[in-house]
């Protein structure tokens, strides 16, 4: 059985164990997960469990969209553990997440996929439209 829910303090280790498989900054990951628990108004981690085993995750960050006239969510770090792939867990994760975002009155949801063609196809198959956007970022040092 697949169960999806928001990470709370008790699930922080589960999220860390999933995300450390692709994150190369363990201290930054730990800090971010703490921030998600301490500041849910910034966003949250949505987790999927397969028969009680942590199987997938995605991070959700909030912003205010002047274009949409309300709350926007950015999805990042979608990850399904290799042993749990091709079983509908990623789909369940995104479908239940979208229902949660609808409850929160999120008006626009964007998924960050980078150059990952498989991830782009995954989101396109679930109704997300590709956007030709140029993004810049600056990290505080």
Domain boundaries, the chain: 2-124
Residue 52 has pLDDT above 90, yes or no: yes
Tell me, rounded to whole angstroms, the distance of Cα 78 from its chain centroid.
5
The answer to whether the beta carbons of residues 12 and 33 sit under 8 Å apart is yes
pTM: 0.91
Given a cut of 80, whether residue 128 has pLDDT beyond it is yes
CB neighbour list of residue 134: distance below 8 Å, 6 or more residues apart = none
* 117 φ, ψ (degrees, to nearest 5): -60, -40
DSSP string over 42-104: TEEEEEEEETTEEEEEEEEEEEEETTTTEEEEEEEEEEE-GGGTTSSHHHHHHHHHHHHHHHT
Q: Which two tokens stand for residue 51?
A: 């028969």
pLDDT more than 90, % of the chain? 80
User: pLDDT per residue over 22-42, tens digit each?
Assistant: 999 999 999 999 999 999 999
Q: Provide CATH code, domain 2-124.
A: 3.40.630.30
Report the chain's mean pLDDT, rounded to a whole number.
93
């Amino acid at each position: 059985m697949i169960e999806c829910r928001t990470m709370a303090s008790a699930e922080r280790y589960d999220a860390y164990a999933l995300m450390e498989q692709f994150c190369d900054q363990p201290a930054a990951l730990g800090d971010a997960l703490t921030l998600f628990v301490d500041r849910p108004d910034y966003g949250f981690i949505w987790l999927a469990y397969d028969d009680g085993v942590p199987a997938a995750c995605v991070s959700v960050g909030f912003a205010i969209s002047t274009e949409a006239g309300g709350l926007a969510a950015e999805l990042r770090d979608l990850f399904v553990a290799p042993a749990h792939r091709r079983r509908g867990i990623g789909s369940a994760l995104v479908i239940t997440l979208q229902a949660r975002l609808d409850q929160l009155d999120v008006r626009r949801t964007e998924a960050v996929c980078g150059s990952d063609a498989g991830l782009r196809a995954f989101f396109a198959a679930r109704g997300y439209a590709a956007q030709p956007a140029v993004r810049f970022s600056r990290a505080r040092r």
